[in-house]
Structure 1
């Protein structure tokens, strides 16, 4: 490029700071653009060039002229940079005309002041990556998940209706139909949590709260304590059903059915790379002595066999002097923090 009549003049006349910064930008494989001086004269590398679309070459031209279509949005950011303040934006939406038509695009970028040896700001370095495809893909997933959630709710409703016709319309809360419907609702709640996240994950505390909410006689009967832990796939379904079974038992015979009864659910996550296990404990108090049931039902089998299988661990139910206690222990390799 002939720089003779350009605002910066011939490269041999550039300052040391400009030469070094320009060389750094050109050597980078990450999209970068130097905006030099009060006018923001553009110097960008090959990684940045595709972001220009069909715009004429912007090297050596003022940024306000090249990006006039989005200058109302980025102009104030450039001014902040020239005032010595850095900026960072994640998935910022801009309406551009870089391909000859109005276009929605998203970018993650930073504006960083470039100073001389005396601290004076001489320009701004723009490091940027376009995230349009990522943002649109995420929106498509959210739309599909919403449709899937709607269809799943309809499916659960149909299954519930079939169950009602099959079991009859018994009003007893302990009737097979009622127990089936409640377990189906626990599955539906877990499904909603999974579909809320694009990657099929759910927060452990939220899983517990959602599963127990329909059974709580009052908010102060439940205490939760533990660090953030993310569960995936079958772990979410398993824990949701297990919490439902424990809560159902507590509502009929245990802490949720007794004045002064309390339930504590606490968990701890071992340090990654260590041998410390993940442990989750359900513990009732204010109940009095509890005897082991004469037979093992669906709920007991779920929390002691099915749930531990999903976590690659073990489960133990104890019937003690003051209520039921359940402990799940698992290797941290099966969990994602």
Structure 2
């Protein structure tokens, strides 16, 4: 039979409440009483129940992570970065996946709060702002990837405007000037933000994007092929293409190769998201914008830890992204 706190209290000659306070290091217990309780616990080989112990502490050392879509490939690196920042063994993480369902999300929130988590990280599936859940939640909440729609919340999201700027600047620095942007769906803030960054980078050099301020479509290889065919059929000069995702970029590369245009000699191509399985196996290997999602997860976790400690910093934090150059944009002599 397992030894209980009641057994320890009985052997030490104290009440259960006093035994609990002594084992949890409370100041209200005399030194002599504490020693007697510890001696009794050692004699009985008593191991405190961590859940019972948590009930007597202000913090439980447990964090909740609420995902909208755990199968989404953008969520996993954010999650890994957050877990890394919380530290192995120092904090327990309870992960829940709402699968984009508002009712399921509320159920998971209730479960996490019943477990007395110290704080919650909310992971979005896109970078579109999402409804805030902070009101009525008794613990700090930090939003990662998808920012909260409330300015009073703390959110972390990649800087998609910067992604568009860097992609265009990368091509311009390699002597390209006739540049097109093949974009994803306009309902995604990532697409509109990337278009704004690309457009501004071109304007600063006195240039405009070929075709329009951005050709919007699906985040797919087929859209990349289709849009590239349309651009080439226009007969306008084209020596650089920014694809708003690596999947689109793969379609771009396929069509250019099919019509006999060389990459990067004839047309340089850069994608976005730096999805290794696509970028590194592309022909040629694809330059891309890395959204640094693990660092985003770490930043969100650090902010939550700070908020649990009593200091919060509301606002949307747009974290830097970076260019990962590969052969598709190599300088041509």
Tell me if both proteins adopt one fold, taking TM over 0.5 as the criterion: no
Superposition TM-score, scaled by structure 2 size: 0.26
Greater share of strand residues, 1 or 2? 1
Please tell me whether Structure 1 or Structure 2 has the larger radius of gyration of its CA atoms: 1
Q: Which structure ranks higher in relative contact order (CA pairs < 8 Å, sequence separation ≥ 6)? A: 2
Superposition TM-score, scaled by structure 1 size: 0.26
